[in-house]
Structure 1
Amino acid sequence: MRQEAAKQPAATTAAEANATAATTAPTLTANAPQANFAAATGDNVAAQVTTLENDFIRVRFTDFGGAVRDIALKKYPAAQDRPDPFVFNELHADPMLALTEFPGLDRATRYTLVSSTPTEIVFRAVLDGRLEVTRHYTLPPSTDAAKSLTDPYQLRHETTFRNLTDKTAVPMRVAFALGTAAPVNALDYGIALKTGYHTPDTQKFIARSDLEGGGFFSNFGIGNRDPLSNITSPGPILWASVKNQFFTSILTPDAPAASLVTRRVKLLTALPDTDHNAYGIAGAAQFELPALAAGATTKLGSNFYVGPKEYKRLANGDVFKADQDKVMDYGFFGWASKLLITLMTWMHSMVGNWGFAIMLTTLALKVAFIPLTLASTKSMKRMAKLQPELAALKEKFKDNPQKQQQATMALFKERKVNPVGGCLPQLLTIPFFMGFYSMLSSTAELRFAPFLWAHNLAAPDTLFYLGPIPVNVLPLLLGVVMVFQMKLTPTSPTMDSTQATMMKFMPIIFTFFCYSLPAALSLYSTTNGLFTIAQQLLINRMKDEELPAAPAAALAPNFHGKPVKNVTPKKK
């Protein structure tokens, strides 16, 4: 436990930041550390800061609001190859767990530090001699979640309200700030800045863009062009969160919250309103306090996690009992993402490098789908052999589509060919590939993880620059791999010329699409393509299966139900 006088705490409201932001606005660069975005946009008066810490986090409390000013994540640096840790809520609208809707007891109120130990801290304030508020925080010293049944990134928080009058106090609404997620560098366009909440029925996420207004259709007078001041989501809420791409805060109250309020907040007032770096997203969980009899008390307790979005950690049901792992927001194919991150984490424990873990997981996925791939390839080859007979049917019944369809289906049945057999097995693999993509996009462990020439798997693998243009190797390699892959892979016999032309441009499209994506995604796609080429070379060496011979006088029903002779062309 440590105390210090903080002359310039992190940013608070936009109004308080105005005085200093104009002269201290940072220079934004692509690789700027997070600290650059918090330059001297501070409170107008000094705050007394008290620190609790363990091996994983350093929690700084401020007496303004009796709340958590910010939390440094010791295991995660703010910038690559620099010792300073990432600080959650470094730029903020409010201190975390501050009472945001309670004038006289909110972040502008100076609380009294009642007591502090290496693991606990207590603040207290009294409102007009009527209401006493005591705020108690506990940080576990243990880093062994299995033994302590808690998590080193998680605080225990309790706020007690006591009626000091001789009259019953009316019911009140209070809200606890969840923190503010801000862009971490100039390339962060805020796509991952979200609040989220979990109810007994579902979980939902609100993106910063949901509050920004505008959008494509607003240019035609459809929809609202004006930004929303806030979005209120009704409960009962089992947990609520604020997050960026890799880190999150999660408030899990002892009793469900009434609602979640999400706000888009401007953090750097010196920047223009059109600059995405100027804005963050903040959330607050609202609770309804009951009427308090004279001298009575009521308590709101919660667990407050601030740390990395690590699926393995958040899926620990002994500690996180309310499906907090759903904060990962894997999407529709989340079940596949969870299987893959579990497998990839195990691979990493074996090889010690996340890049090789991605490659091995991709290989495992490819091997698992060999039966489906063989079935698909076999079906496509059978369809290709049937094309002359299908063409003859098409010519014979070109004036009667219904009869043509009947004859075609009869031919499929006779020659034991499934017309959808080439694509159906591949459709079954889509959830896993989509799940892999979603999982790699938000895995905190990949942040600053090196692999060969790539220094950071969570960013593009820029090797050098040609003037202002970055040369990202993996997307370029992916394009080359896709060209070879397309030359080896048999095309569907039913593909028309337009589709075939579009397929020729796919390597260019994918290279362009992946060029600015994290290297982990390009590594997965490139590795998958290389394994597909190797697999196709082996398949092409296999002996083709012959189609069942057509009967000498095979018959197929025509449109009128009468038989017609088989239309298989005769060999010349």
Structure 2
Amino acid sequence: MDRTAWIVVTLCVVGLIAWYIYAGKQMPPARPSTATASPTSPPVAEASASARPYLSPSPVPTPTPVQPGPTFPEKIETLRNADVELRLTNRGGGIKEVILLNQIAKDDKRVILNSAQEMPIGAIVDQPAPPALPEFALSREPDGSVRCERAMQDGVTMRKKFFFQKTNPPKDNFLLEFDVDLANGGAQPYASSGYFVALGSAAPIHPRDYPYYTRLVWCVPTHGWFGESTVKARDRNVSSFQGGGGFLGLGQRAPQPFFQQDFTGGEWTAVTNQFFATIIAPLNATLAGKGFDSWKANGIWGRSFEVSTEQHMVGIEGAMHMPGFQLQPGQSYTARFQIYVGPKIYHQLGQLEHNEAEIMNFGVFKVVSQFLLNFLNTIHSVVKDYGVAILILTAIIRLVLWPLQSKANRSMRQMAALSPKMQELREKYKDDPTRMNQEVMKLYKQYGINPVGGCLPMMIQIPIFFGLYQMLAQAVELRNARFLWVQDLSQPDTVAHLPVLGWPVNIIPLCMAATQIWLMAMTPKTGDPTQRRVMMFTPLIFLFICYNFAAALALYYTAQNLFSILQFYQNKRQPMPKLEKVAPAGKRKR
């Protein structure tokens, strides 16, 4: 990239960071707290089983103290396949932990999801706060599924069944289903104004994971650019719960103890960190043996919690709200849910039927990110090394842009040749900036030079930059992917820490800055001293911004700089363009 491009890309990175800080302001407002719940009080915990029934018909939280933990012994049943182990608990009748058997966290330990909070995934609660979880009877069925059962008050029984979906061939090892059945065996009608399905929790796996991606997400119907029906994933990231001063005073917000949002026709809801997600999608429901129309989600709740004070890690916990129903004596209500719990592998999410791939949050340049990720995985399927795949992807992008960049380089050399004449005009009209700009533009016109001729490659690279950044930041395929000395392409390539100071030594960003300085030293100098001073500090600014980015992103830009240097050497071998005045349009020969 030329000097102008580096300025714009640096501003893009600054803008990207500013956007992350400011993004919390763009979230939809939380549902106002009711009169019975103080805005500074967390949502209520569920009372013990003897105090009120599970799935209480009360629609509003009542401020009561959090109940002590369960006194009955915990029982665990497991469901397991080649990729995941689910540990189901009798406390709340849900999934206590999810162990991803082929995903490694720190210190060679396996990644465990939902390990930071007590609320099990799939628990059915009336209010989604840390409850005194009721006891369920757990049993393993002959078909391998796990059954949870609990007798509630007034003759109502709740049964839940968790099992892996069976497809031939197996479609996805991270996909399971659970069914909820409520049977009214009492003499009185049973009414529920709605209930919550616990999503569990999500927290950063590694202290260096980007906290922005720890989010509460919900997918709802909307309309596209041309009025067509579509769906869109909306989210609330964990920083929005903590409050903050915003960016330059914009987007200031107060801390929120919890978040609650109403909607209609929700396709799915989820909690997610940078690389892993728990997504629950309602499938259908029946009431008294007949189809029940109100079976999609109609709300979401979430709160943040502190995972590690020392490492400043914050997680998020959530629950999906479902519509209410009424059961006459002898009637039953059944709801089916699908759970995806595992890594955010884009092509697998894209094969699911409820638009689960929308959780990737690729941003404005989603199409670019999707294309680059699919292309990167295609290259990897051949070379079997993600570091090499990134280098090949960089080479292909540079080859596509080569003709445009060559034209831009020629334009820059013409500008450099014109620099002495421009300097004369600046000296001559230094006291009259308006006249100076007019004369400079006139000079460009005389020699047929387009002052923005080098901008086209830069404009094309802006969506590539943002698309690549979002793609590399969320590509779970890069986790623990090695390349040369790099142990994990999704993390900075720290090889040591400076004594006393403790600062990390990241090699690839230093190489990126060195190649950028080399590239700028080769670029034709402009006559503008201000621009020269700005360009002198641009590599240092870019190094500061990108120093702790993922090694994959720094590797891409280092390789891109090397290709740019190669292209400059190739262009330098060509004769210097001559400055020739062009005839005015009206006097050109026909």
In which range does the TM-score fall when normalised by the shorter chain? 0.7 to 0.9
- Look up the match of 2:17: none
Amino acid at match of 1:515: Y
CA distance in 1, matches of 2:268, 2:128: 25
SS at match of 2:106: coil
Query: Alpha carbons of 1:102 and 1:370: their partners in 2 closer, same or farther (altered >3 Å)?
Result: same
- Look up the match of 1:516: 548
- Look up the match of 1:433: 465
Post-superposition shift, 1:54?
0.8
Q: Answer yes or no: is the 8 Å Cα contact 2:406–2:567 preserved in 1.
A: no
- Look up the match of 1:466: 498
Does 2:104 match 1:68?
Answer: no
Amino acid at match of 2:485: W
- Look up the match of 1:287: 322
CA distance in 1, matches of 2:251, 2:486: 44
The one of 152, 157, 163 equivalent to 1:127 is 152
Q: Answer yes or no: is the 8 Å Cα contact 1:98–1:106 preserved in 2.
A: no
CA distance in 2, matches of 1:217, 1:462: 29
Does 2:322 match 1:303?
Answer: no
Does 2:393 match 1:361?
Answer: yes
List per-residue Cα deviations over 1:83-125 (Å, max 9, x = no partner).
Answer: x421111112410111132699977111123542464222222
How many equivalent pairs are there?
502
Does 2:281 match 1:249?
Answer: no
| Structure 2 gap ranges (5+) | 1-42, 47-68, 223-231, 284-294
RMSD of equivalent CA atoms: 3.4
Give runs of aligned pairs for residues 498-513 of structure 1, distance below 5 A: 498-513=530-545
- Look up the match of 1:211: 241
The one of 185, 191, 203 equivalent to 2:212 is 191
Give runs of aligned pairs for residues 536-551 of structure 1, distance below 5 A: 536-547=568-579, 549-551=581-583
Query: Alpha carbons of 1:223 and 1:427: their partners in 2 closer, same or farther (altered >3 Å)?
Result: closer
Post-superposition shift, 1:188?
4.9
List per-residue Cα deviations over 1:486-506 (Å, max 9, x = no partner).
Answer: 11123556xx32232121112
List per-residue Cα deviations over 1:485-530 (Å, max 9, x = no partner).
Answer: 111123556xx32232121112222222232222222212211111
Query: Alpha carbons of 1:406 and 1:177: their partners in 2 closer, same or farther (altered >3 Å)?
Result: same
- Look up the match of 1:57: 84
- Look up the match of 1:39: none
Query: Alpha carbons of 1:190 and 1:217: their partners in 2 closer, same or farther (altered >3 Å)?
Result: closer
TM-score (norm 2): 0.77
TM-score (norm 1): 0.79
Post-superposition shift, 1:170?
2.8
CA distance in 2, matches of 1:434, 1:497: 30
Q: Answer yes or no: is the 8 Å Cα contact 2:483–2:489 preserved in 1.
A: yes
Amino acid at match of 2:274: Q
Greater RCO (CA < 8 Å, at least 6 residues apart): 2
Q: Among all aligned residue pairs of Structure 1 and Structure 2, give the percentage whose two residues are the same amino acid.
A: 29
SS at match of 1:65: coil
Range that drifts further, 295-304 or 411-420? 411-420
- Look up the match of 1:101: 126
Query: Alpha carbons of 1:401 and 1:510: their partners in 2 closer, same or farther (altered >3 Å)?
Result: closer
- Look up the match of 2:20: none
Q: Answer yes or no: is the 8 Å Cα contact 1:104–1:127 preserved in 2.
A: no
Query: Alpha carbons of 1:239 and 1:69: their partners in 2 closer, same or farther (altered >3 Å)?
Result: same
- Look up the match of 1:567: none
SS at match of 1:450: coil
- Look up the match of 1:232: 261
Post-superposition shift, 1:336?
1.0
Amino acid at match of 2:484: L
Post-superposition shift, 1:380?
2.6
| Structure 1 gap ranges (5+) | 1-12, 17-41, 557-562, 564-572
The one of 180, 199, 217 equivalent to 1:178 is 199
Post-superposition shift, 1:397?
7.5
Q: Answer yes or no: is the 8 Å Cα contact 1:232–1:259 preserved in 2.
A: yes
CA distance in 2, matches of 1:372, 1:450: 33
Post-superposition shift, 1:408?
5.8
Post-superposition shift, 1:378?
2.6
SS at match of 2:327: coil
SS at match of 1:260: strand
Query: Alpha carbons of 1:541 and 1:323: their partners in 2 closer, same or farther (altered >3 Å)?
Result: farther
SS at match of 1:289: strand
Amino acid at match of 1:257: A
- Look up the match of 1:324: 356
- Look up the match of 2:299: 259
SS at match of 1:134: strand
Query: Alpha carbons of 1:511 and 1:399: their partners in 2 closer, same or farther (altered >3 Å)?
Result: closer
Q: Answer yes or no: is the 8 Å Cα contact 1:348–1:354 preserved in 2.
A: yes
Post-superposition shift, 1:187?
4.2
Q: Answer yes or no: is the 8 Å Cα contact 1:99–1:107 preserved in 2.
A: no
Amino acid at match of 1:70: E
Does 2:461 match 1:421?
Answer: no
Does 2:509 match 1:475?
Answer: yes
Amino acid at match of 1:210: S
The one of 341, 344, 362 equivalent to 2:376 is 344
Does 2:172 match 1:151?
Answer: yes
Post-superposition shift, 1:391?
5.8
Amino acid at match of 1:362: T
